[in-house]
Amino acid sequence: MPPVTIQEVARHAGVSAATVSNFFNWPDRLSTGMAERVRSAVDELGFVPNMPARQLRTSRSGMIGLSVINASNPFFAEMVVAVEHAATEKNLSVMVGSTHESPQQQRQYLRMFEQFRFDGIILTPFDDNLQQAHEIAARGTPVVLVDRTDDEGLLPSVGTDHEAGGYLAARHLIEQGCRRLWFVSGPRQVQQMVRRLRGYQKAVDEAGNVSLEVLEFPDLDVGFGREAGRQIADRDPQDRPDGVFGGNDLQAIGIVAELVDAGVDVPGEVAVIGYDDIVFAATTARPLTSIRQPSREIGAAAAEMLFERLLSPSTPAQQQLFQPELQVRASTRR
């Protein structure tokens, strides 16, 4: 059976193709009798509209692309849900892609979004290169940045102040009496890491009598967190840090798990703080102190920003910045 088109439905109902099209798009242009005839023909043949064809004609896809760093990180997962929710209300669908800290993957997804003529794109970039995003926006597909501002001010953005977050983390550790601080980081290209470190460093510098060491890992997941934890536990107690800031909660959770397994006292010997405040932060062996980012609000705000640009593409680019909050739990409370 060949795929059934609008033409066949028309023939079957004894009307023209235009009428069938109107049945779907301008129902009030049909008389009730006609509508009924079309409806039954559609049902009988099991007609399924061909979106690519419709899209070609109307040049609207009803889709928005969402590129995040890692969709299985609960922080991004929540953001995705918020975006989907907002999009559904506007009759839009969301396609999400996880770049897993790979520039090629990011390029790939962006190119795909543009080629499929998505109505708009929300991007969580992780490196410094916004060139592709600028090009796409210039060619007419609205782009909104998340978790990162555009220095050139061309693209709207929403995110949290990572530098402030890093500062909060260090201040808190120092106030708890920590003097030998570590920063366990993801890849250097990830801008967010750089900013958090900058704030962290600032508080360390201000304190004066505090040391800082940075450990870099290729990925921000629980596994590498454990790896970091093991490195800490393996050291002589006097060489260990007494305060550790994990690049995100995934890493911090891994660190805590490994330290506890190794019998290191958390927070007594080593205090640990994370970033994002994901739901699992509160359920670990030592409930994790974390810097909370409002993932849902960020997602919703990004979606709203994008919708505005869909309506009026030429409005100047806004920047929205949320402030992170310190959420204290047992992993740092001495």
Partner DNA sequence: GTGTGCTTGTGAATCGTTTTGTCCGGAGGT
Partner DNA sequence: ACCTCCGGACAAAACGATTCACAAGCACAC
Q: Which residues bind DNA (CB under 7 A)?
A: 3, 5-7, 14-22, 24-25, 29-31, 33-34, 47, 49-50, 53-54, 56-59
Rounded Cα distance, 201 and 212, in Å = 8
The single residue among 74, 246, 247, 324 that binds a second copy, judged by CB under 8 A, is 74
* Residue 5 binding result from a second copy, DNA, none, given CB thresholds of 5 to 8 Å by partner type: DNA
Residue from 25, 40, 43, 48 touching a second copy (CB under 8 A): that is 48
Q: Which of 244, 263, 260, 272 minimizes the C-alpha distance to 331?
A: 272
In the complex, minimum distance from the CB of residue 320 to a second copy, in angstroms, rounded to a whole number: 24
Residues 202-231 that bind a second copy (CB under 8 A): 222
Compare residues 18 and 282 and give the one whose CB is closer to a second copy.
282
- Partner in contact with 189, chosen from DNA, a second copy, none, beta carbon below 5 to 8 Å by kind: none
Rounded to 5°, the CA angle 142-147-150 comes to 55
Say how many residues touch a second copy, by CB under 8 A: 45
Q: Are the CB atoms for 50 and 39 separated by under 8 Å?
A: no
From the list a second copy, DNA, none, partner contacted by residue 84 (C-beta under 5 to 8 A by kind)? a second copy
Q: In the complex with DNA, which residue's Cβ is closer, 24 or 211?
A: 24
- Choice between 74 and 166, CB closer to a second copy: 74
Q: What sign has the CA pseudo-torsion 302, 308, 314, 316?
A: negative
In DSSP notation, 53-110 reads HHHHHH----EEEEEES-TTSHHHHHHHHHHHHHHHHTT-EEEEEE-TT-HHHHHHHH
Question: Which residues lie below 8 Å from residue 106, measured CB to CB, with a gap of 6+?
Answer: 67, 99, 123, 125, 126, 127
Q: Give residues 128-157 in contact with a second copy (rule: CB under 8 A).
A: 135, 139-140
Residues 6+ apart with CB under 8 A from 283: none
Question: Would you say 167 or 245 has its CB closer to a second copy?
Answer: 245
Task: Compute φ and ψ for 188, nearest 5 degrees.
Answer: -65, -30
Which residue lies nearer to DNA by CB, 31 or 312? Answer: 31
Residues near a second copy, by CB under 8 A: 3, 46, 48-53, 55-56, 59, 61, 71-72, 74, 77-78, 80-81, 84, 93, 95-96, 98, 111-112, 114-117, 135, 139-140, 222, 253-254, 256-257, 279-280, 282-285, 287
